[in-house]
Amino acid sequence: MDGLSIQNTDCLDAPLSGVQLLHAPVLVLNLNYVPLNICTVRRAVILVGKSKAELLENHRGQLRTVSSLVEVPSVIRLDYMVKKPSLPRKLSKKEVFLRDRFTCQYCGKKAQDLTLDHVVPRRQHGSHTWENVVTACNRCNLRKAGRTPAEANMLLKKEPRAPDPNPYLILQNRTLLDEWLPYVPWSARG
């Protein structure tokens, strides 16, 4: 490992053994406190040691290195801004409903029987893209049938677009540690 050598990984009051602890996950926040990725304790200790990140949360005790004791991070924040390549949200029925706030884009009603409507129908070579799919209630979908909104004389509430990238996707399907929670909004904890 570069920069910092951890020779003896005795941890003083941590529940995991030293080696396990080095590989335990650490939440890395961007300069603006938005989660950026998850790294190992080993990597996080190096970043903090090189003053490239600050330690925000330590709930795991300390590690003994060659020359000193270091805090074991749970959450660190980088000292610089990383511009992330934007992660486009995956096009799925659920994501389209979320984008449209579970509201039919034709009649404006929040309905139980929501469906996915291709604005330009598939049989007219409409694409399966964010710009061509909207949430429609069953009634509006049946009324529109295999026609474009113009053909069906129906108006869209607004033009469909791709939603903003979700920075919290990195946390999906992960076990969130208690000490990460202050940095993760409720909406991203599902």
Whole-Å CA distances, 46 to 26, 81, 83, 120, 162: 12, 18, 21, 53, 38
Per-position x/- string for 85-104, each x denoting binding to Zn ion as judged by CB under 5 A, each - no binding? -------------------x
The size of the interface with Zn ion (CB under 5 A), counted in residues, is 5
Q: How far apart are CA 148 and CA 96, in angstroms?
A: 19
Assess 180 for contact with Zn ion (CB under 5 A): no
**Residue 116 in contact with Zn ion, rule: CB under 5 A:** no
> With binding defined as CB under 5 A, does residue 152 bind Zn ion?
no
Q: Of 106 and 180, which has the nearer Cβ to Zn ion?
A: 106
106 is an interface residue for Zn ion by CB under 5 A? yes
Tokens 């998850």 -> residue: 38
Long-range contacts of 86-92 (CB under 8 A, 24+ apart): 86/165, 87/165, 87/166, 87/167, 87/169, 88/162, 88/165, 89/162, 89/163, 89/165, 89/166, 89/169, 91/128, 91/129, 91/130, 91/133
- Residues 56, 107, 169, 177: which binds Zn ion (CB under 5 A)? 107
Q: 3-class DSSP state for residue 177? A: coil
Closest distance of CB 118 from Zn ion, Å: 15
CB of 141 to Zn ion, least distance (A): 8
Q: Find where tokens 């474009």 sit.
A: 148
Query: Closest separation between CB of residue 97 and Zn ion, Å?
Result: 13
Closest-CA residue to 79 (of 55, 54, 45): 54
Query: Any contact of residue 137 with Zn ion (CB under 5 A)?
Result: yes
Residue 140 binds to Zn ion (criterion: CB under 5 A): yes
Comparison of 79 and 151: residue with beta carbon closer to Zn ion: 151
Stretch that binds Zn ion, among 3-11, 22-30, 91-99, 140-148 (CB under 5 A): 140-148
Give the nearer residue to Zn ion in terms of CB position, either 33 or 102.
102
> Integer distance in angstroms from the first to the last C-alpha of the chain?
35
Pick 88 or 108: Cβ nearer Zn ion: 108
**Interacting residues toward Zn ion by CB under 5 A:** 104, 106-107, 137, 140
